[in-house]
Structure 1
Amino acid sequence: MKIAATVQARLGSSRLPGKVLKPILGQPMLALQIERIRQSRLIDQIIIATSTEPQDDALATLAQQLGVACFRGSEQDVLGRVVGALQAFQVDVHVELLGDSPLPDPLLVDAMIGYYLKQADCYDYVTNGLKTTYPPGAEVAVYPTAVLVAAEQQATDAALREHVGIHIHQHPDHFRLCNLEAPPWYHYPDLYLEVDTAEDFEVITAIYEHFYPQNPGFSLAQVIDFMIAHPKLVSRNQQVVRRWKVFRQE
Structure 2
Amino acid sequence: MKNVGIISQARMTSTRLPGKVLLPIAGRPMLHYHMQRLQASHLPVYLAITTNQADDVLADFAQTHTLPYVRGSEDNVLSRYWLCAEANELDVIVRVTSDCPLLDGELIAESVREYLRADDDRLYLSNVLERTFPRGLDFEIFSRQLLAEAMQHATLASDLEHVTPYIHQNRSGSVRFQHISRQPARSHYRLTVDTADDFLLIRTLIEEHNAHQLKTTELIALLDAHPELIALNAHIEQKKV
- Give the corresponding residue for 1:56: 55
**2:4–2:94 contact (8 Å) kept in structure 1:** yes
The corresponding residue for 1:93 is 92
Distance in 1 (alpha carbons) for counterparts of 2:212 and 2:30? 13
Partner of 1:32: 33
Is the counterpart of residue 238 in structure 1 residue 234 in structure 2? yes
The 1:155–1:64 alpha-carbon spacing in structure 2 relative to 1, beyond 3 Å, is same
Instruction: Structure 1: give runs of 5+ residues left out of the alignment.
Output: none
Counterpart amino acid of residue 231 in structure 1: P
Distance 1:235 1:211, change over 3 A: closer
% identical equivalent positions: 33
The letter for the 1-side match of 2:217 is A
Work out which of the residue numbers 201, 214, 231 in structure 2 matches 1:203.
201
**Residue identity in the other structure for 1:227:** L
Map of 1:12 onto structure 2: 13
After TM superposition, the structure 1 = structure 2 runs for residues 56-205 of structure 1, keeping only pairs within 5 Å, are 56-121=55-120, 123-171=122-170, 173-185=172-184, 187-205=185-203
CA positional deviation for 1:102: 1.1
Aligned residue pair count: 240
**Partner amino acid, structure 2, of 1:8:** Q
Cα distance per residue 1:71-123 (max 9 Å; x no partner): 00000110111111111111111111111111111221012101100112384
- Deviation at 1:174? 2.9
Q: C-alpha displacement at 1:153, in angstroms?
A: 0.8
Structural RMSD (CA): 1.6
Letter in 1 for 2:190: Y
Relative to structure 1, the CA distance from residue 173 to residue 75 in structure 2 (aligned partners, 3 Å threshold; closer, same or farther) is: closer
In structure 1, C-alpha distance between the alignment counterparts of 2:138 and 2:174, rounded to whole Å: 19
Q: Which secondary structure state, in structure 1, belongs to the residue aligned with residue 133 of structure 2?
A: coil
Q: Which secondary structure does the structure 1 equivalent of 2:71 belong to?
A: strand
Residue by residue over 1:28-78, the C-alpha shift from the partner in whole angstroms, topping out at 9 and shown as x without a partner, is 10111101111113x1x2111000000000001101111110100000110
Tell me how far 1:216 sits from its aligned partner: 4.8
Contact 2:192 2:198 in 1 (8 A): yes
Cα distance between partner residues in 1 of 2:126 and 2:180: 9
With structure 2 as the length reference, what TM-score do the two structures score? 0.94
- What is the alpha-carbon distance in structure 2 between the residues aligned to residue 179 and residue 208 of structure 1? 32
SS in 2 for 1:117: helix
Unaligned runs of 5+ in 2: none
Secondary structure, in 3 states, of the residue corresponding to 1:103? Answer: coil
Q: Secondary structure in 1 aligned to 2:213?
A: coil
TM-score by length of 1: 0.91
Distance 2:12 2:123 in 1: 31
Tell me the residue number matched to 1:219.
Answer: 215
